[in-house]
Homo-oligomer: A and B are copies of this chain.
């Protein structure tokens, strides 16, 4: 919540009974000197104890004319979570969401009434529970109000004050000032002043409040004098100046960020000569950014002059908040798992930083690295994999995967690096994307991303894959020309039936014939050499959100594995003795985008499996069975969701067979790859926490409400595996598939993809730009817009793994609304 004119501060105490209300009173009196009588609002969202002694009354009494409000008053003088329980109405008045909404409403109303200042006083200490039981610093976090901390001036107060600050700080609050009573007996002020100045936070000392008198009238008078003196003191006057200054610098920094960025930042994937609205992100929480949108602000600040000579309308419009909440519908480039600003993740990151920082990983090991290795392998349940290599992002993780696979196949087939012949190539699919480093760019066919990269050398063959999309309520298979000769099933009644490979045996045979013919032509006839089969299982992301027919990918793997002679002749003794030996080609699954529950399952390779791969059906369980060895990749790459959406880390997993390729008596044969921050503990520890949470949600039924509407009514697919499903309900997808503005759509896991009707299309298309712009400014009932990303004529929406069905519903409604507006 941020306005240009209304300044709001929240007051926290380092402990209970440190004088929050006394300081709030002083502040209100000092602020009142700068505002009109009703320009000042005091809010006490939660109060416990008898009403007669309530803080809002105290304030009203001592700051005449102030608007002073308590939102929830509980009668017992206990911690609010207990008081709320005892008062019995906890469930309604006391939900976090409800309190935050009411605070927002009060502040918005105050702003509209021309309010200049508001003070929000919390209850107890920084981490005292609110009525629902959430600690207050978490409860109020969506508002992220600038904060004043009242220090503890008693013995031991240095410790409680600094700890309280640290708890606020790791939750992303800005502490504007520390305020302490200067009790010479303990001398906390001097120490704290020095400590907080290291964090650039000023400390204000106030005289101790007068001791209580016998006679309440004396008490009253003495207290009133004390308040008056304090409010007029230099310390408080400077504090108020400082608070104004901070407000001013925050708003001016925020509003100037877009233009400052233009001067110095070279944005990824941006054509800088095309003007673009830059969103300034102030902070983020859960699925939402708090963002300053220059375009909508400009519209307000410089209204079109009215020709009639009347004052433009905007001048009369109520002040608009500078920050708008935006649903992060690209999941911040497909990374978000447990929500932005997650306090448990922040704490985990800090623990790793405090215990290790970063430590050298060559010939060394530490607990977080070891734990995430075992954790990832047991999450993937791929019987081939047992080795983990660490790098920093999906692109570097794929570079390592390619180095692994090419070495393995070159050794087996006796291919040497040779000036004369072209490098060993890879097999892949058209529409692939494996990252931005040049080596993995070479794994993709020539396309818009790589055509201008001078060193891009496409080394491979890319099959055009059959793909799926829903149109007018039907799942349609798009069959590329190169396979169009064969006769295939063209439509499906349900998402589920696409995956019912048992009923699609004829299609599989036709795919296989096409693949065999192609390979024979490439290898036997053209003499090409292939060293790896690389695929993004089920969904190709950056290539344009292509939902690949899983049967085609499955058949590609099985054909390469069952007909190794199509690839080449192994040199003698080259076949590995490992039981996880590969056949034909090492299969690399690029699960950077699709894995770790992005599409609803731990490993996206599992979408290529079928119950019959196992022989006897596995025991019924809500979780996914292990991957069948027949379709399991030999190498898989994981990043993005791996670290819950906090920071870069990638893991490349490999089979023992691939690993053994690099063994010899020479150091020069080792995999000579390693980035400086390899296996940085902070990434590993956060990844462990993330995987634990994901698996917990998978097991405890968190996603049942999303799965249920997608469950097939008649099952030829075994019930032992979880259904193919999406966070977006099937009714929404069906509705969208009939929308005249769209030429198709689909949803898988947390991803919803819409293909927008347009002329031209392609990466340079701007057909989707107006829809994207509309979504940014079309606010839903909660005042929230949608921040989405487009890929040519595709617009997609993605949630985190903690997004609730209610949030998905709001998102869906807004999307439909925006489409209808077009």
Contact with B along A361-393 (1 / 0, CB 8 A): 111111101100110010000000011111011
CB distance from A530 to the nearest CB of B (A): 12
B345 pairs with A347, CB closer than 8 A: no
Given A353-B346, A388-B265, A659-B266, does the pair A455, B451 have CB atoms closer than 8 Å? no
Given A370-B265, A671-B266, does the pair A350, B170 have CB atoms closer than 8 Å? yes
Q: Which listed segment binds B: A35-43, A76-84, A227-235, A572-580? A: A76-84
A264 contacts chain B at the CB level, 8 A cutoff:
yes
A667 pairs with B271, CB closer than 8 A: yes
Given A271-B670, A676-B393, does the pair A439, B455 have CB atoms closer than 8 Å? yes
Q: Which listed segment binds B: A254-262, A476-484, A605-613? A: A254-262
A787 pairs with B358, CB closer than 8 A: no
Q: Which residue of B lies closest to A171 (CB)?
A: B354
B437 pairs with A399, CB closer than 8 A: yes
A170, A258, A279, A423 — which one has the most chain B CB atoms within 10 A of its CB? A170
Contact of A347 among B135, B170, B330, B673 (CB under 8 A): B170
A261 pairs with B370, CB closer than 8 A: yes
Contact with B along A644-688 (1 / 0, CB 8 A): 111110000010000100111111111111111110101100000
B386 pairs with A677, CB closer than 8 A: no
B359 pairs with A264, CB closer than 8 A: no
List, in ascending order, chain B residues with CB within 8 A of A403's CB: 438, 453-455
Contact of A386 among B191, B264, B407 (CB under 8 A): B264
A673 pairs with B436, CB closer than 8 A: yes
A172 contacts chain B at the CB level, 8 A cutoff:
yes
Contact with B along A283-307 (1 / 0, CB 8 A): 1100001010000000000000000
A272 contacts chain B at the CB level, 8 A cutoff:
yes
Please report the C-alpha to C-alpha distance between residue A272 and residue B438 in the assembled complex, in whole angstroms. 28
List, in ascending order, chain B residues with CB within 8 A of A395's CB: 396, 437, 675
Please report the C-alpha to C-alpha distance between residue A270 and residue B666 in the assembled complex, in whole angstroms. 10
B159 pairs with A127, CB closer than 8 A: yes
Contact with B along A209-239 (1 / 0, CB 8 A): 0000000000000000000000000000000
Taking A266-B654, A407-B452 as given, write out 15 further A-B residue pairs in contact, using a Cβ cutoff of 8 Å, ordered by the A residue number.
A133-B191, A264-B370, A264-B374, A268-B361, A268-B675, A271-B663, A280-B364, A341-B356, A342-B353, A360-B787, A396-B437, A417-B456, A436-B674, A454-B531, A648-B648
List, in ascending order, chain B residues with CB within 8 A of A370's CB: 257, 260-261, 264-265
Given A187-B79, A283-B355, A647-B677, does the pair A362, B171 have CB atoms closer than 8 Å? no
Please report the C-alpha to C-alpha distance between residue A262 and residue B30 in the assembled complex, in whole angstroms. 66
Please report the C-alpha to C-alpha distance between residue A669 and residue B783 in the assembled complex, in whole angstroms. 37
CB distance from A679 to the nearest CB of B (A): 8
CB distance from A405 to the nearest CB of B (A): 9
Q: Which residue of B lies closest to A435 (CB)?
A: B675
A313 contacts chain B at the CB level, 8 A cutoff:
no
List, in ascending order, chain B residues with CB within 8 A of A332's CB: 357-360, 676
A166 contacts chain B at the CB level, 8 A cutoff:
yes
A169 contacts chain B at the CB level, 8 A cutoff:
yes
A347 pairs with B15, CB closer than 8 A: no
A335 contacts chain B at the CB level, 8 A cutoff:
yes
Please report the C-alpha to C-alpha distance between residue A332 and residue B278 in the assembled complex, in whole angstroms. 38
Top-7 shortest CB links A-B: A268-B674, A438-B439, A125-B159, A16-B156, A172-B355, A172-B354, A346-B353
Please report the C-alpha to C-alpha distance between residue A380 and residue B357 in the assembled complex, in whole angstroms. 25
B265 pairs with A172, CB closer than 8 A: no
Interface residues of A in 388-442 (CB under 8 A from B): 388-390, 392-396, 399, 402-403, 406-407, 410, 417, 423-424, 435-442
Contact of A79 among B186, B276, B393, B669 (CB under 8 A): B186
A257 pairs with B367, CB closer than 8 A: yes
B169 pairs with A347, CB closer than 8 A: yes
B266 pairs with A646, CB closer than 8 A: no
A172 pairs with B678, CB closer than 8 A: no
Given A170-B353, A347-B166, A646-B353, does the pair A673, B423 have CB atoms closer than 8 Å? no
Given A16-B155, A350-B346, does the pair A678, B268 have CB atoms closer than 8 Å? yes
A156, A158, A402 — which one has the most chain B CB atoms within 10 A of its CB? A156
List, in ascending order, chain B residues with CB within 8 A of A273's CB: 663-665
B268 pairs with A673, CB closer than 8 A: yes
Please report the C-alpha to C-alpha distance between residue A671 and residue B647 in the assembled complex, in whole angstroms. 23
B647 pairs with A680, CB closer than 8 A: yes
A664 pairs with B271, CB closer than 8 A: yes
CB distance from A556 to the nearest CB of B (A): 22
A814 contacts chain B at the CB level, 8 A cutoff:
no
B279 pairs with A365, CB closer than 8 A: yes
A-B contact pairs, 28 of them (CB 8 A): A16-B156, A17-B155, A128-B156, A160-B160, A163-B167, A170-B351, A172-B351, A172-B352, A265-B387, A268-B362, A272-B659, A273-B665, A277-B363, A278-B363, A280-B366, A283-B355, A333-B361, A347-B350, A350-B350, A350-B353, A393-B676, A396-B396, A436-B672, A439-B455, A457-B457, A648-B677, A666-B764, A667-B763
Q: Which residue of B lies closest to A273 (CB)?
A: B663
A92 contacts chain B at the CB level, 8 A cutoff:
no
CB distance from A315 to the nearest CB of B (A): 29
Q: How many copies does the complex hold?
A: 2
A755 contacts chain B at the CB level, 8 A cutoff:
no
CB distance from A204 to the nearest CB of B (A): 20
CB distance from A147 to the nearest CB of B (A): 12
B357 pairs with A345, CB closer than 8 A: yes
Contact of A354 among B128, B346, B639 (CB under 8 A): B346
Q: Which residue of B lies closest to A198 (CB)?
A: B344
Given A362-B789, A675-B395, does the pair A345, B353 have CB atoms closer than 8 Å? yes
List, in ascending order, chain B residues with CB within 8 A of A167's CB: 162-163, 166-167
A126 contacts chain B at the CB level, 8 A cutoff:
yes
B365 pairs with A265, CB closer than 8 A: yes
Please report the C-alpha to C-alpha distance between residue A335 and residue B366 in the assembled complex, in whole angstroms. 17
A392 pairs with B392, CB closer than 8 A: yes
CB distance from A398 to the nearest CB of B (A): 10
Contact of A672 among B388, B449, B673, B680 (CB under 8 A): B449
Please report the C-alpha to C-alpha distance between residue A335 and residue B336 in the assembled complex, in whole angstroms. 28
B647 pairs with A682, CB closer than 8 A: yes
Q: Which residue of B lies closest to A263 (CB)?
A: B386
List, in ascending order, chain B residues with CB within 8 A of A340's CB: 356-359
Given A358-B647, A363-B267, does the pair A159, B387 have CB atoms closer than 8 Å? no
A339 contacts chain B at the CB level, 8 A cutoff:
yes
List, in ascending order, chain B residues with CB within 8 A of A640's CB: 676
Please report the C-alpha to C-alpha distance between residue A144 and residue B269 in the assembled complex, in whole angstroms. 45
List, in ascending order, chain B residues with CB within 8 A of A268's CB: 361-362, 389-390, 671, 673-675, 678
List, in ascending order, chain B residues with CB within 8 A of A764's CB: 666-668
A129 contacts chain B at the CB level, 8 A cutoff:
yes
Q: Which residue of B lies closest to A261 (CB)?
A: B365
Please report the C-alpha to C-alpha distance between residue A452 and residue B364 in the assembled complex, in whole angstroms. 24
